[in-house]
Structure 1
Amino acid sequence: MRIGNGFDVHAFGDGDHVVLGGVRVPHDRGVVAHSDGDVVIHALCDAIFGALALGDIGRHFPPADERWRDADSRQFLRHAGMLMAQQGYRLGNADVTVIGESPKVTPHAQAMREILAVDLGSEIGRISVKATTTEKLGFCGRREGIAAQACVLLERL
């Protein structure tokens, strides 16, 4: 078994939605990012890459590379899943926490879990998506941005 953790953060900017776990969530702000800025998927990818000792998401999808401008982060997750399988692992479980005052995650958590499971070739019961606030403290509490952290357990096939 191997364990990995990941973290991602993006500042809010202009826009009318954020993408979380592959789901377009209506919001009064967007995020400032090179790709679609999906903090859930970016944190999850970093957790998987970490468990596999393959660096971080920036190593696989450099932000300076124009191929990834406005990219759908689901392709990053499918890549992480492919590397996981190539190295002889499957997802034991993943636990993702979205950190921010808004938008509300709970109404979209099931759809996120479904998408993450499909992209990782996993059972939905192995994936948890939840949220917390920072009690109005820090940049997330001031509604300046959104963050996510993820932890994964990979099991040898």
Structure 2
Amino acid sequence: MNFRIGHSTDIHRLVDNRDLILGGVKIDHEKGLLGHSDADALLHAITEAIIGALGKGDIGTHFPDTSSEFKDVDSKILLKNTMKLMIDEGYRINNIDSTIFAERPKMKPHIESMKQVITELLQIPLNDLNIKATRGEKLGFIGNEEGIACEAVVLLIKK
């Protein structure tokens, strides 16, 4: 069997007048993430982890933030396009483990909704995706509520 592992981290700054979207879910919060697209750091980390596992560069290579095509794009579209690339390369997802680093808002109430969205997009069982969340404990840019970071690790298997 041929296995490939990918890892990625994505970070976005929290700003006023933006929606907070993580894992494809809009979360009620006074600030949102700044980015060229919808700035969904969790979907970006998962997308880039898949790209990395395939040895195909990074998210910016495939979806450059200099392109008007991707301005304000829904990150679910980026993940769908990456899934097509993965399938074309002959791989499938074995499992994904991810972490959201955010001081506020609390992520626990939103994790099941995120899992539903992501597993539906990737056409994988719920137990093949894990999403955890942790706080910054008032330390650094996460603890000071200046930004949110997400990490993802994916294991791909050759079909």
TM-score (ref. length: structure 1):
0.97
Deviates more, 1:117-126 or 1:3-12: 117-126
Structure 2: runs of 5+ lacking an equivalent: none
Answer yes or no: is the 8 Å Cα contact 1:45–1:80 preserved in 2: yes
| Counterpart residue type for residue 32 of structure 2 | G
| Residue equivalent to 1:31 | 33
| Residue equivalent to 2:154 | 152
Structure 1 counterpart of 2:103, from 72, 80, 101: 101
CA RMSD, 1 decimal: 0.9
Structure 1: runs of 5+ lacking an equivalent: none
Answer yes or no: is the 8 Å Cα contact 2:13–2:33 preserved in 1: yes
Q: What do the CA deviations read for 1:77-96 (whole angstroms, capped 9, x no partner)?
A: 11111111111111100011
| Counterpart residue type for residue 151 of structure 1 | V
| Residue equivalent to 1:54 | 56
CA–CA distance in structure 2, aligned partners of residues 36 and 56 of structure 1: 18
Answer yes or no: is the 8 Å Cα contact 1:15–1:31 preserved in 2: no
CA–CA distance in structure 1, aligned partners of residues 17 and 126 of structure 2: 30
Q: What do the CA deviations read for 1:90-132 (whole angstroms, capped 9, x no partner)?
A: 1100011000101211111111111111111211110011101
| Residue equivalent to 1:73 | 75
CA–CA distance in structure 1, aligned partners of residues 82 and 97 of structure 2: 16
| Residue equivalent to 2:93 | 91
Deviation, structure 1 residue 133: 1.1
Deviates more, 1:34-43 or 1:13-22: 13-22
Report the 3-state secondary structure (helix = DSSP H, G, I; strand = E; otherwise coil) of the residue aligned with 1:48: helix
Divergent runs of 4+, >4 A: none
Aligned sequence identity (%): 42
CA–CA distance in structure 1, aligned partners of residues 50 and 149 of structure 2: 17
Number of positions where the alignment pairs a residue of Structure 1 with one of Structure 2: 157
| Counterpart residue type for residue 81 of structure 1 | M
Report the 3-state secondary structure (helix = DSSP H, G, I; strand = E; otherwise coil) of the residue aligned with 2:17: coil
Answer yes or no: is the 8 Å Cα contact 2:18–2:34 preserved in 1: no
Answer yes or no: is the 8 Å Cα contact 1:16–1:27 preserved in 2: no
